[in-house]
Amino acid sequence: MKKKVIFRSGSLRMGGLERVLIEVLQTIDREKFDIYLIIDDDCGKENIFEKDIPKDIRYFFLKPEKLIRETEKYKAKKKNIVYKLMYNLMMEKENRIMYKNMQKVLKELGEIDVIVDFDGGASKYIEKLDITKKIVWIHNSIPNLKKKESKIQRFGKRLEKYDKVVAICDEMKEELENIYPNLSGKVSRIYNPFNFERIEKLMDDKSELREEQMKMLIENYCIAISRLDTIQKDYETLLKSFKILKSKGIQQKLYIIGDGPSKKTIENWIKEYQLEDLVFLLGRMKNPYVWLKNSNFFIHSSKFEGFGLVLVEAGYSGKAVISSKCPVGPRDILKDGECGILFEVGNSKELAENIEKLLKDKELKKKYEDLIKERVREFDSKNIIKEYEKLIEEI
């Protein structure tokens, strides 16, 4: 008899976690499981991945878009004490509606064997759900995510309510076990799955490129791909490194693919460091892989990571990788510097030296291209999904 399994997550917006979720849903064996999907936020037009949910999977939203938009209005102005109060009240209202609708969905679906809490968002109420087995996925470094010690410890107590806790890399698993000794024996490591066949097709797809973009594609450029968010992504260090290179007469171009709340800040840094002729913000791209394939090499400057999906994608595209040595993910993917170059977080001088090294040493660049291409084969979804299925079957 097939197990009835719910996957739950926060949203279907554009993001790495959401991409992984969709990949899992598209690949997991329906002969073994009846799969359902529960998403907290209905974000309307921002439900980028809604169209990619397999047709045979029923899915439910817990919070209506109208309610979410109303809360966002107060959040934007919450420096004002009145708006902050209203924002807090709206968040309480959202949580009440979300939990009420969760119970309604569970009643409609009947007995559920396993819930996979894919982003830990149900941790506040997970013990109240009448579901036999509970699994939670952790996609980020806990100290960087929670910041305060009190929040870190509170989250640990919530994790104890699950039957299994899954980390997405070895470094994260070790971190979890060190912070939360009570989770001993509960923590597993399962890498994020990648559909390399899909990436392979997209690497040569230029159908969406405008004439101007086609010209940019044949330039000599390095590439960075991430959300434009300076809280997590260290764009200041990245841009300072290119300022250093320019001062040495190295006119290397950098294309940045992505969008986000810090776009204006990054544009200001580009002007401040006089890099307008070298650094170009391309915005969000449906297909970043064609840009990856035609780039010189890939640079990833981040303060902290969950896994670093784009490092694997860059590696599969055959590109040498330079990444900050941030917790957690990059060290694991690059095998502590064996398959790519790691630099200290915030060290723009070291980053500039490494970029210069790859630009001048073609043999070194080729060595890293070959090593990372071989390394990332371990993340093929065909293998990883078997680990997902085994965990759900055996729990």
CATH no. for residue 321?
3.40.50.2000
Same domain, 22 and 90: yes
Distance CA 302, CA 191 (A): 20
Q: Kindly state whether residues 387 and 346 are assigned to the same domain.
A: no
Measured between alpha carbons, how far is 146 from 54 in angstroms, rounded to an integer?
33
**pLDDT, average across residues 172-198:** 92
**Contact (Cβ atoms closer than 8 angstroms) between residue 5 and residue 32:** no
**How is residue 291 written in tokens?**
């840009």
Asked whether residue 189 falls in the same domain as residue 272, the answer is: no
Do 28 and 119 have their domain in common?
yes
Q: Are residues 206 and 305 in the same domain?
A: yes
CA angle, 323 then 297 then 275, to 5°: 85
188 sits in the region (left: phi over 0; alpha: psi -120 to 50; else beta) called: beta
Mean pLDDT score, 194-203: 91
Q: Are 334 and 342 in contact (CB under 8 A)?
A: yes
**174 plus 218 within the same structural domain:** no
| 266 and 284 assigned to the same domain | yes
Tell whether 82 and 229 lie within a shared domain.
no
275-310 in b/e form (b: 16+ CB < 10 A) is beebbbebeebebbbbbbbbbbbbbbbbbbbbbbbb
Query: In sequence order, what are the residues at sequence separation of 6 or more whose Cβ sits closer than 8 angstroms to the Cβ of residue 237?
Result: 301, 324, 345, 346, 347, 348, 351
**Local confidence band at 18 (pLDDT 50, 70, 90 cut-offs):** very high
**Residue 243 pLDDT level (bands cut at 50, 70, 90):** very high
Mean pLDDT of 200-212: 92
Q: Count the Cβ atoms, other than its own, within 10 Å of residue 85.
A: 12
150 and 271 co-located in one domain: no
H or E element that contains 149: helix 149-159
Structure confidence at residue 239 (pLDDT): 98
Where residue 212 falls among pLDDT bands split at 50, 70, 90? very high
Helix (H, G, I), strand (E, B) or coil at 293: helix
Same domain for 273 and 205? yes
In the structure, what pLDDT confidence band is assigned to residue 245 with cuts at 50, 70 and 90?
Answer: very high
Q: Collect all residues with Cβ–Cβ distance below 8 Å to 65 and sequence separation of at least 6.
A: 41, 42, 43, 44
Q: Which of 172-186, 319-333, 350-364 ranks highest by mean pLDDT?
A: 350-364
* Mean pLDDT over each residue of the chain, to the nearest integer: 94
Average pLDDT on 258-273 reads: 95
Range of the domain at 215: 196-377
Per-residue pLDDT at 328: 83
Q: What ranges make up the beta strands (E) of the chain?
A: 3-9, 33-41, 58-63, 114-117, 133-138, 164-167, 187-189, 221-225, 253-257, 279-283, 298-300, 321-324, 341-343
> Please, which residues have CB within 8 angstroms of residue 161's CB and are 6 or more apart in sequence?
123, 126, 127, 134
Comparing 138-152, 164-178, 216-230, the range with the smallest average pLDDT is: 138-152
Amino acid, res. 58: R
- Does residue 142 surpass a pLDDT of 90? no
Q: Same domain, yes or no, for 100 and 173?
A: yes
Where does the pLDDT of residue 11 fall: very low under 50, low under 70, confident under 90, or very high at 90 and above? Answer: very high
Instruction: Please state, in angstroms and rounded to a whole number, the distance separating the CA atoms of residues 318 and 312.
Output: 10
Band of pLDDT at residue 20, cut at 50, 70 and 90 = very high
Q: Are 230 and 264 in contact (CB under 8 A)?
A: no
Closest CA to 325 of 352, 307, 343: 343
Name the 3-class secondary structure at 13: coil
**Within this chain, do residues 156 and 227 fall inside the same structural domain, yes or no?**
no
pTM over 0.85: no
Residue 324: closest CA among 350, 356, 291: 350
What is the number of domains present in the chain? 2
Q: Are the CB atoms for 60 and 80 separated by under 8 Å?
A: no
Q: With beta carbons less than 8 A apart as the criterion, state whether 376 and 114 touch.
A: no
